[in-house]
Amino acid sequence: MSAREGLKQLIFRATASTAGRRMLESAIRHDPSLAFESLGPIVNRPASFDTAPDQPERIEGFESLSFLFSSNPLNWGIALLMFDEASYLYGLARKLGQARGAEIGRWKGGSTFVLAAGLAPGSLLTSYDLHVKLTGEFDGKQLDASLQAALTRYGLADRVELLVGDSRIVEPPTMLDFVLIDGDHSYEGVKADYLHWRSALRPGGNLLFHDGAAPKPLQTCHPEVEQLVREITRDDGALFTRVGGAGSIVHFVKRSDGDGYAA
């Protein structure tokens, strides 16, 4: 057995115990690509047409094929979204056609771009970001300039409005078809967004939370967003029906009889 193959076997066995997981951590630091190559078969064991989760009833477009693919936090691109999450957002935007929506938290604008590409011409997506630095190396102004240039290059600029502001205190537009909440992930932050934005949706409008559930391994999920999502599902059933989601995205629809909340 080659040294590489031996290390691979070791990593495979290491996942069973705490001590093993510690060993695994040092293996990952030593050779990340080898470690993840070895973990792949464990993580992707359910990947077959017989067993893969989230297989759709109908194929409605490319976005219905996302159950075939995988992505994880180590191979994120511009969007802080996994493949199935991006395709879910794109599919929703496409179904909505000409629509008016808002996004809270855009960072580099990956989710902004996915939504804009899915929406029909004549739509308007208002994106809010506070330019909180996620890592030291990115500057919000520069990220927005790059995003704006890309939107212009691809003919999407007229359907997107990039605003800098605190989502908890800006004046939300009204009668929105959708709101995607992916900003402050603390319990207080995400709850403030929920309370401030839920009345901005029209009856039948779509409320989406990113990082609100973790159905798959290597999924990013924020426990405090998950907590709020559980509370809405449990306590606010008269106002919102949980209809689905993908990856860590949780999707509620505003009940047509649940309008007019106190903000």
Q: Is 191 in the site for ligand SAM (CB under 6 A)?
A: no
Q: Is 178 in the site for ligand SAM (CB under 6 A)?
A: no
CA distance 145 to 37: 36
Which residue carries 């929703």 as its tokens? 92
- 104 versus 162: smaller Cβ distance to ligand SAM: 104
CA distance 66 to 1: 36
Q: Is 84 in the site for ligand SAM (CB under 6 A)?
A: no
User: Which of 23-31, 48-56, 122-130, 144-152 is the region at the interface with ligand SAM (rule: CB under 6 A)?
Assistant: 122-130
CA 213 to chain CA centroid, nearest Å:
10
Which residue carries 């804009």 as its tokens? 116
Q: In Å, what is the CA distance from 258 to each residue of 177, 199, 204, 239, 251?
A: 15, 10, 9, 5, 16
Residue whose Cβ sits closest to ligand SAM: 105
Q: Is 130 in the site for ligand SAM (CB under 6 A)?
A: yes
| DSSP assignment string, 87-100 | HHHHHHHHHH-S-E
CB–CB of 172/210 below 8 Å?
no
CA distance 263 to 260: 9
Q: Is 82 in the site for ligand SAM (CB under 6 A)?
A: no
User: Which of 107-115, 118-126, 153-161, 248-256 is the region at the interface with ligand SAM (rule: CB under 6 A)?
Assistant: 107-115
Q: Out of 91, 118, 172, 183, point to the residue binding ligand SAM (CB under 6 A).
A: 183
- 84 versus 129: smaller Cβ distance to ligand SAM: 129
- 8 versus 216: smaller Cβ distance to ligand SAM: 216
CA distance 132 to 94: 30
**x-or-dash pattern for ligand SAM, window 24-63, by CB under 6 A?**
----------------------------------------
Return residues touching ligand SAM (CB under 6 A). Answer: 79-81, 104-108, 110-111, 128-132, 134, 166-168, 182-184
